[in-house]
């Protein structure tokens, strides 16, 4: 079983739409959760961390449900520039080495 | 601005060749990582290092070795390249988590990647 699983998509949505991505993780001891964004042929970059109470950054909202081991990312008012692959990332490392487990990514295309 | 650089963007090698992939970071990060990224499999950790001359195996270390002689540089070595090592290789670096605290995560910064093709 994979550490982190997410729907690969692709999600094709019109500009202005709201879109949500979901992700599940297998290790109940996981403590830190993140969404990274990866543009085509580019490296992943941190989009936002996910906190227990849920958090918002502009048009982006991240939610965490520890009981269900489930993470979500909501994008409101989609822009063309949001087109990318969104990686769900979990840190279950208790050693301090800062190791991350990555999902395979959900591809989003925002259509004019 | 954090910068992680990798020696090549594209590399083509033949089966059996020894391949060196170099990664340099300029942020004085203790931790450095090598991943490979394949369609449908996502990023998988090959090796990581939390200090000079220290290395730890990741999830898929077979067929690879690493070297960390200086803090800023982390090299990935394919001793005898094989076609199943054709992939995108990504290097990353970060500060370590605060000691004993899994909550104190430090962002991993990635290099641009090296697309390696083994013929």
Q: Does A42 touch chain B (CB under 8 A)?
A: yes
Q: Which residues contact A19 (CB under 8 A, 6 or more apart)?
A: A11, A13, A74, A75, A78, A108
Helix, strand, coil percentages for chain A (3-state, nearest 5): 5, 55, 45
| Per-chain mean pLDDT for chain B | 91
* Chain B: closest CA distance from residue A67 (Å): 18
Picking from B23, B43, B115 by the largest number of A CB atoms within 10 A of its own CB, the best residue to mutate is B43
Cis peptide, bond prior to residue A10, ω within 30 of zero:
yes
Q: Does A102 touch chain B (CB under 8 A)?
A: yes
Each residue's pLDDT tens digit, B72-111? 999 999 999 999 999 999 999 988 766 555 455 678 899 9
Alpha carbon distance B23, B9 (integer Å): 11
Task: Find out whether A4 and A25 touch, Cβ atoms under 8 Å.
Answer: yes
Mean pLDDT of B50-75: 94
- Number of Cα atoms under 13 Å in the Cβ half of residue A20: 8
For residue B27, pLDDT beyond 80: yes
Residue A25 phi, psi dihedral angles, 5° rounding: -130, 150
Q: Chain B partners of A34 at a C-beta cutoff of 8 Å?
A: 105
Give pLDDT, residue A98.
66
* Chain A: closest CA distance from residue B107 (Å): 7
Helix (H) and strand (E) counts in chain B: 0, 11
Nearest to A43 among B102, B103, B112 (CB): B112
Q: What is the CA radius of gyration of chain B?
A: 14
Q: Which residues pair with A45 in a beta bridge?
A: A37
> Using the beta-carbon criterion (under 8 Å), do B99 and A102 form an inter-chain contact?
no
Q: Does B10 touch chain A (CB under 8 A)?
A: no
Mean pLDDT of B31-60: 92
Task: Find out whether B89 and A81 touch, Cβ atoms under 8 Å.
Answer: no
For residue B115, what pLDDT band results from cuts at 50, 70 and 90?
very high
Alpha carbon distance B66, B34 (integer Å): 9
Q: Does A98 touch chain B (CB under 8 A)?
A: yes
Q: Which residues pair with B77 in a beta bridge?
A: B20, B65
Give pLDDT, residue B98.
61
Q: Does B41 touch chain A (CB under 8 A)?
A: yes
- Number of Cα atoms under 13 Å in the Cβ half of residue A40: 6
């Amino acid at each position: 079983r994979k550490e982190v699983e997410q729907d690969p998509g692709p999600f094709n949505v019109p500009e202005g739409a709201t879109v949500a991505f979901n992700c599940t993780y297998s290790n109940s001891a996981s403590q830190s959760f993140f969404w990274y964004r990866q543009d085509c042929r580019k490296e992943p970059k941190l989009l936002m961390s996910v906190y227990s109470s849920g958090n918002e950054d502009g048009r982006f909202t991240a939610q965490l449900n520890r009981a269900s081991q489930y993470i979500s990312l909501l994008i409101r008012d989609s822009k063309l520039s949001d087109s990318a692959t969104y990686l769900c990332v979990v840190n279950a490392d208790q050693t301090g080495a800062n190791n991350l487990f990555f999902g395979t990514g959900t591809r989003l295309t925002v259509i004019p | 601005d954090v910068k992680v650089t990798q020696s090549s963007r594209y590399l083509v090698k033949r089966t059996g060749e020894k391949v060196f992939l170099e990664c340099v970071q300029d942020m004085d990060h203790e931790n450095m990582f090598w991943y490979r990224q394949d369609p449908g499999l996502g990023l998988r950790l090959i090796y990581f290092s939390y200090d000079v001359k220290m290395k730890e195996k990741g999830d898929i270390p077979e067929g690879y070795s690493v070297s960390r002689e200086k803090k800023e540089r982390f090299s990935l070595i394919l001793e005898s390249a094989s076609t199943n090592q054709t992939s995108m290789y990504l290097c990353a670096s970060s500060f370590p988590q605060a000691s004993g605290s899994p909550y104190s995560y430090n962002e991993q910064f990635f290099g641009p990647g090296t697309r390696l093709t083994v013929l």
